[in-house]
C-alpha cells in the first residue's frame, strides 16, 4: 500500500495519532522508511539538520505548506515556499521576535502570568465548605492567548481577566486543528482555498467570534498603527513596520502567531505541569530549588525574571524533559529533496534520496531516541540533563532537543518568547501550588 498509493500516509494522519504510527514505523524499519509512493519518514537528527541548514537545497512541499495558509491568497513565514521571500521575511521579523526592538516583551508576559496567579487565588481555592475545581488546561490557553495577543497587537484579548474565551478564539483553534488535519491528509486545500469555497466556508471578518473576529480586530489595530508609522510603542508591530512589512504582511504574520504560538506554548505548559503533578519527587526537588533561590535573594519580588529562571538548572531540566517526552508539535513538516536527488548518510549507511521525494520529520521517535537519550528515553527524568557525564553525549542531547523548534533556515522565530513564557509560568504555578500544600 505504501508503494501504490497515499492511503496509509493519509490514514495515519487522520487517526490523530500519526506520531505513534510513525514511531512504530521507525522502530520496525529504521530511522528512515517509506510511508507512501513519494513519502519518506525519518527520525534521524543528522538528516533533519542536513535538510534545514542555511545552505540546504531542500525546500518546503506544496502538499503540506499550502494547507497551512489561514487565508487562501496570502502566505506567511511558515507557509511561504519561495526560499528568497522566506529568507527576507525572517530577516524583516527577527528583531521583533528577539526582543531587540520589543522592549516591553518581558513585561507583557509578566502581566499575564500575574493575572493567571491572581485568577487562581481569587476564584479557584477550595475550602472546607466548597470545592472549586479548575480546568487548568483551559486557563493555560487563556494565558497564552492573552500573552501572544498583547505581544502581537499591543492589546490582549482579556481572557484571563474575564475568565472566558472572549472572542471564541480558543474554540475556533480546536476546530481549526481538525480542519487542518483533514486538509493535509486529503489535500482538501486545493478545493477549500478556491475563492468560492473560501468565501463560503472560511472565516470572514464580519464574523462575531472566532478567527474571523480576530482577523477584523487585527486589521483595525494594524491600520491604526500604520497610520502612526513606527512611532509610539516599541513593540512587535512597530518593528515590523520599521522593517518594511505591509498591512497584509503584518496581519498575516500576527494571525499566525495567534494560531500557532498560543497552541504550542499551551501544549508544552500542560505537559510540563502534568508531569510535575504526577511525579512528586520531581516536584519536591523543583520546589527546593525555587525556595533556595528565593531565600538567597536571586528570585524575589513580582514575577520571576527570565534571567533568574535561566539560572535555575533543575527548572531548566524539568522544562527540557517535559517538552522532550511529549513534543508540542508532532506534525510532519516535510521537506522536498532537490532535483537530481541527494546522497545522505543515515545511521552509518549511505542512502540515495530521489529528487522530488518528500521527507517527513517523525518528532516523537526523534525525541525518545535511546541512542541519544539513553535506555530510559521514554521516561520523564529531568536528572538526565544534569547527571550525564559524557560531554559528547550531553551536547548531542541538547542539539537534538533544539530540533523541537526546527533548525537553521526553518527554526521557529518565536522560540525565545515561548521559552520565556514557559519558564516564568512553570516557576510561578509551582510556587502557587506549594501555597495550597502548606
Pairing assessment for the beta strands 32-36 and 342-346 based on DSSP bridges: unpaired
pLDDT, greater one: 288 or 37: 288
At 298, the pLDDT band (50, 70, 90 cuts) reads low
pLDDT for the residue numbered 4: 43
Question: Does residue 415 register a pLDDT over 80?
Answer: yes
256 Cβ neighbours under 8 A, 6+ residues apart: 70, 76, 77, 78
Q: Read off the pLDDT of residues 387-402 as tens digits, 9 standing for 90 and up.
A: 877 788 999 999 999 9
- Number of structural domains the chain divides into: 1
Phi/psi zone of residue 164: left (φ > 0), alpha (ψ -120 to 50 degrees), beta? Answer: beta
Give me 41's grid cell.
Answer: 519518514
385 pLDDT exceeds 70?
yes
Q: How big is the chain by its Cα radius of gyration, in Å?
A: 22
- pTM comes to 0.93
Using DSSP, state whether 287 is helix, strand or coil.
helix
The CA distances from residue 168 to 145, 180, 430, in Å, are: 11, 18, 29
Flag whether 368 is in a domain: yes
Domain that holds residue 11: 7-437
> 149 lies in a domain?
yes
pLDDT in tens, 136-184: 999 999 999 999 999 988 889 999 999 999 999 999 888 888 887 887 7
Query: For position 230, what pLDDT does the model report?
Result: 66
Give pLDDT, residue 108: 94
Q: Which pLDDT band holds residue 243 (cuts at 50, 70, 90)? A: very high
d(CA 258, CA 263) in angstroms, rounded, equals 8
pLDDT band, residue 205 (cuts 50/70/90): confident
Give the residue with greater pLDDT, 163 vs 62.
163
Band the pLDDT of 2: cuts 50, 70, 90.
very low
pLDDT, the chain, mean: 89
Specify if 145 maps to a domain. yes
Q: What is the DSSP letter of 191?
A: H
CB atoms within 10 A of CB 45: 22
Report if residue 2 sits inside a domain.
no
Question: In this structure, is residue 1 part of a structural domain?
Answer: no
> What is the C-alpha to C-alpha distance for residues 30 and 33, in angstroms, rounded to an integer?
7
Query: How much is the pLDDT for 204?
Result: 86
| Confidence category of residue 196, pLDDT binned at 50, 70, 90 | confident
The string of pLDDT tens digits covering residues 348-363 is 899 999 999 999 999 9
CATH code at position 305: 1.10.630.10
Is 412 labeled as ligand-binding? yes
Amino acid at each position: 500500500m505504501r508503494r501504490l498509493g497515499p492511503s496509509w500516509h493519509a490514514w495515519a494522519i487522520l487517526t490523530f495519532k500519526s506520531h505513534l504510527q510513525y514511531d512504530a514505523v521507525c522502530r520496525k524499519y529504521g530511522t528512515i522508511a517509506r510511508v507512501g509512493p513519494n513519502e519518506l519518514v525519518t527520525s534521524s537528527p543528522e538528516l533533519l539538520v542536513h535538510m534545514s541548514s542555511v545552505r540546504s537545497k531542500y525546500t518546503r512541499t506544496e502538499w503540506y505548506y499550502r494547507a497551512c495558509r489561514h487565508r487562501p491568497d496570502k502566505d506567511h513565514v511558515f507557509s511561504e515556499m519561495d526560499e528568497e521571500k522566506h529568507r527576507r521575511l525572517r530577516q524583516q521579523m527577527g528583531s521583533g521576535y528577539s526582543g531587540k526592538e520589543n522592549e516591553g516583551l518581558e513585561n507583557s508576559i509578566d502581566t499575564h502570568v500575574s493575572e493567571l496567579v491572581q485568577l487562581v487565588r481569587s476564584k479557584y481555592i477550595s475550602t472546607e465548605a466548597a470545592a472549586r475545581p479548575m480546568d487548568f488546561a483551559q486557563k493555560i490557553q487563556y494565558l497564552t492567548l492573552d500573552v501572544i495577543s498583547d505581544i502581537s497587537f499591543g492589546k490582549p484579548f482579556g481572557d484571563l481577566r474575564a475568565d472566558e474565551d472572549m472572542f471564541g478564539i480558543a474554540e475556533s483553534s480546536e476546530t481549526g486543528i481538525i480542519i487542518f488535519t483533514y486538509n493535509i491528509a486529503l489535500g482538501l486545500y486545493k478545493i477549500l482555498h478556491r475563492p468560492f469555497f473560501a468565501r463560503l466556508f472560511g472565516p470572514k471578518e464580519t464574523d462575531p467570534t472566532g478567527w474571523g473576529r480576530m482577523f477584523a480586530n487585527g486589521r483595525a489595530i494594524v491600520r491604526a498603527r500604520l497610520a502612526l508609522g513606527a512611532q509610539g510603542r516599541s513593540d512587535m508591530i512597530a518593528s515590523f513596520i520599521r522593517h518594511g512589512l505591509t498591512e497584509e504582511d503584518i496581519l498575516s504574520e500576527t494571525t499566525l502567531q495567534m494560531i500557532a504560538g498560543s497552541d504550542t506554548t499551551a501544549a508544552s505548559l500542560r505537559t510540563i505541569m502534568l508531569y510535575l503533578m504526577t511525579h512528586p519527587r520531581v516536584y519536591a526537588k523543583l520546589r527546593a530549588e525555587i525556595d533556595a533561590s528565593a531565600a538567597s535573594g536571586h528570585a524575589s519580588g513580582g514575577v520571576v525574571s527570565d534571567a533568574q529562571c535561566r539560572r535555575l538548572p533543575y527548572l531548566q531540566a524539568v522544562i527540557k524533559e517535559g517538552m522532550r517526552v511529549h513534543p508540542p508539535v508532532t506534525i510532519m513538516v516535510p521537506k522536498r529533496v532537490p532535483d537530481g536527488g541527494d546522497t545522505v548518510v543515515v545511521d552509518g549507511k549511505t542512502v540515495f534520496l530521489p529528487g522530488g521525494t518528500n521527507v517527513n520529520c517523525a518528532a516523537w521517535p526523534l525525541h525518545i531516541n535511546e541512542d541519544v537519550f539513553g535506555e530510559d528515553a521514554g521516561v520523564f527524568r529531568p536528572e538526565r540533563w544534569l547527571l550525564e557525564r559524557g560531554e559528547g553525549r550531553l551536547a548531542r542531547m541538547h542539539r537534538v532537543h533544539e530540533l523541537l523548534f526546527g533548525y537553521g533556515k526553518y527554526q521557529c522565530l518565536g522560540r525565545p518568547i515561548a521559552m520565556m513564557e514557559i519558564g516564568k509560568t512553570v516557576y510561578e504555578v509551582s510556587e502557587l501550588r506549594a501555597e495550597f500544600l502548606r
